[in-house]
Amino acid sequence: MELRYVDAHIHLSDEEYSEIIGAVLEEARRSNVKALVSNSMDLNTSVKSMELSKKYPRLVYAALGIHPWNVNVLSENELYETSEFILKNRQDDALVAIGEIGLDFKYRGIWEKQLHVFNEMLCLAERLGLPVIIHSRGTTQEIVEMLPSYNIKKVLLHWFSNPVSLLPKIVERGYCITEGPPAVYSNNIREIIQRIPLENFLTETDGPVRYFRCPFYGKLTTPTLIPMVVQAVAEIKKMSVADVAEKVAKNFENFFGISIV
């Protein structure tokens, strides 16, 4: 049986990929990466993510939204236009989530604005019945406390790193987490993978973010790294690579409501 790999969180609409996107996706296909979710940061990258989903159907899917890093330069008009763009594409099967959205402790100085934008994005996900892909650096506790206020069934906490004590609550609520290349070398991430049931787990790269530890040092982050992530998960879980890859692929299908070909 051919292995099926997935990348639930990559920023394909980032400028770093713009000149090489065709090659990146062809390499992904050759590595048996069957589906990718292009996460957005703002209106511009949301538009590009949808364009990529049209150009590469049944391979690239789109998550649209506003990242907390962009809140600082966000106008109220752009928030409105991004929401309208998402609504305009609501019937498109390639639109599978609202993301990347969330909160970041680094921007506490604009906390109220972050909360405002996050709330708008969560309300939109609730209205459209879409999953959310969440950035929660230093804010996971606050976000997990907030989420029950919204009628959102599917939550993905991307690159979950702490606190480990939250994992039982995350599992109890049926949320998922993603982990990427740090699964190969980070003791903290490996402990999280050991603790989280595979049913609540998806793989990611978060490209084009780079990883400066071996074996990734100096390499462009692309979906071709996913097989190494799955290999690491298989070692941690004491399972076969084939079983982990297939379970993660099925999780991807169930979470995003799509069928991988």
Weakest mean pLDDT among 74-83, 106-115, 138-147, 240-249? 106-115
97 strand-pairing partners:
63
pLDDT value at residue 194 = 98
**CATH code of the domain occupying 5-256:** 3.20.20.140
User: Quick one: what percent of the chain has pLDDT higher than 90?
Assistant: 92
pLDDT value at residue 125 = 98
pLDDT one-digit tens code per residue, 152-169: 999 999 999 989 999 999
Return the exposure string of 240-260: e unless at least 16 CB atoms fall within 10 Å of the residue's CB, then b.
eeeebbbbbbebbbebbebee
Sequence-separated contacts (24+) of 238-241 with Cβ below 8 Å: 239/198, 241/3
Closest to 15 measured CA to CA, from 55, 42, 53: 42
133 close to 167: Cβ distance less than 8 angstroms: no
Cis peptide before 131 (omega within 30 of 0): no
pLDDT value at residue 73 = 84
pLDDT one-digit tens code per residue, 72-130: 888 889 999 999 999 999 999 999 999 999 999 987 788 899 999 999 999 999 999 99
The domain spans of the chain are 5-256
pLDDT value at residue 2 = 87
Is a pLDDT exceeding 90 seen at residue 71? no
pLDDT one-digit tens code per residue, 3-62: 999 999 999 999 999 999 999 999 999 999 999 999 999 999 999 999 999 999 999 999
pLDDT one-digit tens code per residue, 185-198: 999 999 999 999 99
156 close to 133: Cβ distance less than 8 angstroms: yes
Which residues, including other chains, have CB under 8 Å from residue 237's CB and lie 6 or more apart?
Answer: 193, 194, 198, 244
pLDDT value at residue 110 = 86
3-state helix, strand and coil shares in percent for the chain, rounded to the nearest 5: 50, 15, 35
35 close to 257: Cβ distance less than 8 angstroms: no
